[in-house]
Amino acid sequence: FLIVCSSNIVVGLINNEYSNLNILSLIIDLFTCIFTAVIEELLFRELLLKELNYHYNPLKSIIISSLIFGSIHLLNINSISSIPICLLQAGYTSLLGLMLGFIYLASKNIIYPVFFHFAFNFLNDSLSTNIFNLKWNNIFFIVNISISLIMLIYGIIIYKLFKKEMTSYASTNMDF
């Protein structure tokens, strides 16, 4: 999962265009990323996903909460330079929400999605933009889409294994 969190660092290393590192900005971003990860995970996984999971099956609950999570990021239109970039952010945050939802339901612990969310925000945004002059060029899209597809395939495999394990556990441990 840390590969997803560092995809923009990979882009920066490939492009080899460094920026001036601003330590104060990086420290402020560190605390902002911690705060954001904790608040968003408590809201979207601990409250929303947990509530949805009482009413729907786990997969449907994860999908609904992920779409809401991505949709909320459309509010960033005020701080992002263009509508297409905002829509792209809503798309990849929906996919991120899927991963965070699977992590939360599989672990039954909010700490893991909080850590992953923090790592994604800090490494892919704050750290990478403080170290590199990132450009939304072909390399940026190729690296990020490739890593996303690899993680999507990995996630599907893990989900199928998890589902099979849970079905097997339920069938052998049910009280009649």
Q: What share of the chain has pLDDT > 90, as a percent?
A: 38
Give residue 176's pLDDT.
43
Give the C-alpha separation, 49 to 51, whole Å. 5
pLDDT (0 to 100) of residue 167: 64
Spatial distance between the Cα atoms of 65 and 33, rounded to a whole number of angstroms = 21
| Torsion from C-alpha of 83, 89, 92, 96, nearest 10 degrees | -150
**pTM of full prediction above 0.75:** yes
Residue 154 burial (CB count, 10 A) = 14
How high is the pLDDT of residue 20? 84
pLDDT at position 85 is 78
What CA dihedral angle connects 129, 134, 136 and 141, to 10 degrees?
-90
Closest to 101 measured CA to CA, from 153, 50, 169, 164:
50
pLDDT beneath 70, residues of the chain: 80-81, 165-176
